[in-house]
Amino acid sequence: MNDCIVIEPDCHEDKRGFFYESFHCQRYKQQAGIHNEFVQDNLSRSSKNVLRGLHYQKNRPQGKLVRVVRGEIFDVAVDLRLDSSTYGQWESQLLSESNKKQFWIPPGFAHGFVVMSDIADVEYKCTDYYDPSDEGLLIWNDPSIDINWPIQNPLISEKDLKAPLFSALKL
């Protein structure tokens, strides 16, 4: 999809474990074209089948660099940028502690994920501060977006269950 990027860090593994740089500002600028400044790091822990999202910030959109440090998630970005050729389209990535992939989601996308493992710890760097008064929601199973979620009956918060359809968003 337009502007979403998968980053696969150079991981050094041996019988003792592994090492990789989870972020390197200069390299991410040069190799991935990520020129945004990160101002906030978040960590969430969720149980199997928990679906979080789809969330976005209305007036101060956040870019997110997402990775999983424990477990596995199906991560989703929906393009909400009105001037984009991929407006209303989605992209997904399977992120896990074993594949060590990172998913760059630029500002202007709704973001959500569902946990595929027994538990998942998800870390993400954000390009702007979270503001609860600026939060927007998009219903996870909107038929016009038609995300191919890998589970049928996720565990969802009351807030996320009441999220509006894509057609009702005021962007």
Question: What band does 25 get if pLDDT is binned at 50, 70 and 90?
Answer: confident
Question: What are 74's strand-pairing partners?
Answer: 94, 114
CATH number, domain containing residue 24: 2.60.120.10
65 CB contacts (<8 Å, ≥6 apart)? 7, 23, 28, 34, 38, 102, 103, 104, 105, 124, 125
Query: Tens digits of per-residue pLDDT, 110-169?
Result: 999 999 999 999 999 999 999 999 999 999 999 999 999 999 899 999 999 999 999 999
Q: Provide mean pLDDT across the span 52-63.
A: 96
- Return the active site residues: 55, 124
* Lowest-confidence segment of 55-59, 105-109, 123-127, 167-171 by average pLDDT: 167-171
pLDDT of residue 64: 97
Taking the C-alpha atoms of residue 159 and residue 100, their distance in angstroms, rounded to an integer, is: 30
Domain that holds residue 116: 5-168
Taking the C-alpha atoms of residue 19 and residue 115, their distance in angstroms, rounded to an integer, is: 24
Number of domains in the chain: 1
User: What sign results for the dihedral spanned by CA atoms 23, 36, 62, 148?
Assistant: negative
Nearest CA to 112 out of 78, 81, 86 is that of: 78
Nearest CA to 61 out of 109, 113, 125, 1 is that of: 109
For the full predicted model, state whether its pTM sits above 0.75: yes
Residue 1 pLDDT greater than 70, yes or no: no
